[in-house]
Amino acid sequence: TVATNALLERKGAKVGLLTTEGHRDVIEMREGLKDDRYALRQPAPEPLVPRRLRLPVRERVRADGSIETALSRRSLSSALASFRDEGVDSVAVCYLHAYRVDDHERRSAAAIARVLPEAHVSLSCEVFPQIKEYERVCTTVVNAYVGPALQRYLTRLQARLVEAGYHGPLLIMQSHGGLATVRDAVALAAGAVLSGPAGGVAGSRHAGQLLDVADLIAFDMGGTSTDISLVVDGAASIAAGRPIAGQRLGLQSLDIVSIGAGGGSCALIDAGGVLHVGPQSAGADPGPACYGRGGTQATVTDANLVLGYLSPDASLAGGTRLDAGAAHAAVETVAGTLGLSTVDAAAGIHRLVNTRMADGIRLVSVRRGVDPRRFALLSFGGAAGAHITAVARELDLRRVIVPRLASVLSAWGMLASDLRYECVRTHIGDLGRFDAAQLQSVFAELEHDGRQKLAQANFHGEVRVQRSADMRYGEQIFEINVPLDDIDWRGADPLAEAVEAFHRQHESLYTYALRDQEVVLVNARVAVIGRLPALPAEPGRAAVRPAEPIARRRVHLQGWREVPVFELGALATRQRVVGPAIIDAATTTVLLRDHDTASCTEQGWLDIDIAAPQSG
């Protein structure tokens, strides 16, 4: 999260931006869009590079790659002298159409190395070598902004590992769900900005392989947010153009929806007397009121403690016990304002956050033409277990899986990831008029580039290649990525197959296809994946007798009831626990509601069958 935090907290490098004359203000002009289109007074996000550090250079490359204006050494030298005087420590270079011809950017990099030898340098032709100027300059600037912080951190980390006696490879998680070497991660620092949640998706994909479940909804509920994504046929979906902290990243990343709902989300009442839960969070410090660290606002965790879903005897890291009295006091404040009892207010907080998280699942499924009911819900993150069965009920989902490593599944997923390099080339044209051999040649060159990167990473194992293309209808201004691995390039008409694949993908996403319109190929993409050794199989569980409840707890489930409490680690393989019940683990608590049935798998995971609604 080093790169992510540097961007979110605006604590990145002092960046200077070199652009083609007339284009210095692209990152401030933006696209004319805003998060809330009806907020007329909403200010635009502050650009990462102030105008005095956005300097034009006299040069210009045309869209076809021809040179209109040669690179002016005088204007470049003048800009670099200004950067030196300003104390710039990172330089972003983004010239017009550099994805076609990169000579001007590379010559500028050589000049930067002479004038500012200590500066971190980011070239758009390396960071984001494809069409769309705003996304290209924004991504390059983000790369320059977070790159130095990431480089410093990884350098220190490598040194500490060597001191500790570790001399093996160090690989870094990337936003697209693959791994990269330290050198490549620093060069493409923007590729690590969304890498934290990516580990959870990688873990979900691996969990599905272990359980032979191809279609999963990955549901990661932490303290501040919940990250949700789909795994379809064993593969995670990829998206590009993700906004973060007011910046548009053009790089591909796993398609994850994050909502501001977590265990630390605060319950607030607006001026109209309406209860809201999140996105404001108590964080880890001071944290929920029950942490006893000075927090006074009611949070989801406080509500769960009031309702009995969490044990008042549970301990935080360091041995501090939860403070049930502080939780009740915080929720009572909300209850008094709403004119409710403390328990009813806590139940309202719990239901509201469940509804918000169910809506998040609808965003990644129903809104995209996918029926979530055919998916299993994989629950992880320390806070998810107390909510997951209610969320599943709201969406009419029938299967929930809770891994034994639920609270650290993201870290586990990183161990199950492979080296991955994305290579892309802008190649615009009507796909129906392309020459199939020419397009194959483009893909072959991109694959060669990716294999070279694997070789530079000292990888010599099994390699898998994925081909795809960004395509659109002729009059559209956005593209969709279409996998092309199933195309028979030796067939009679492979381009017609690619066109039809686009029509089907468009129809799946937007419910219609325009088969009489031209289909434009914008970018050819190749992902070259170096398969790393698989994680060792988890050890089988010893044959033990079915566990008995370790306690009984008073919980509120449409009224107060006493329910049995089981310890997850003590359950026998294939032991069934029927709800209402609570299953406690060291780092999470799972609540089973009426008639839910949890079975313990050979790995010690919970496979929960959600009871269908009772008729009558």
pLDDT for the residue numbered 616: 47
pLDDT(334) > 90: yes
Using CA atoms, how far apart are residues 609 and 339, in angstroms rounded to an integer? 37
Q: Strands 67-69 and 60-61, how do they pair?
A: antiparallel
If you count DSSP H runs as helices and E runs as strands, how many of each does the chain have, helices first?
15, 31
Model confidence over 409-434: pLDDT tens digits? Answer: 888 899 989 999 999 999 888 887 88
Interatomic CA distance for residues 226 and 565, integer angstroms: 26
Residue 615 has pLDDT above 70, yes or no: no
Give pLDDT, residue 428.
85
For residue 357 the two structure tokens come to: 């998280």
- pLDDT at residue 314 greater than cutoff 80: no
pTM of the model: 0.84
| Residue 393 Rama label (left phi>0; alpha psi -120 to 50; beta) | alpha
SS (H, E, C) 449-467: HHHHHHHHCCCCCCEEEEE
Contact between 404 and 428 under an 8 Å Cβ cutoff? The reply is: no
Higher pLDDT, 534 or 589: 589
Identify the weakest region by mean pLDDT among 254-258, 438-442, 452-456, 521-525: 254-258
Span 320-326, mean pLDDT? 87
Instruction: Summarize pLDDT for 136-186 with one digit per residue, the tens.
Output: 999 999 999 999 999 999 999 999 999 999 998 999 999 999 999 999 999
Backbone angles phi, psi at 471, to 5 degrees: -135, 160
DSSP class of residue 381 equals S
Domain residue ranges of the chain, discontinuous segments joined by +: 2-171, 197-281+333-415+539-616, 419-530
Structure tokens belonging to residue 163: 């001191």
**Domain 419-530 classification at class level:** alpha beta
Name the DSSP class of 117: T
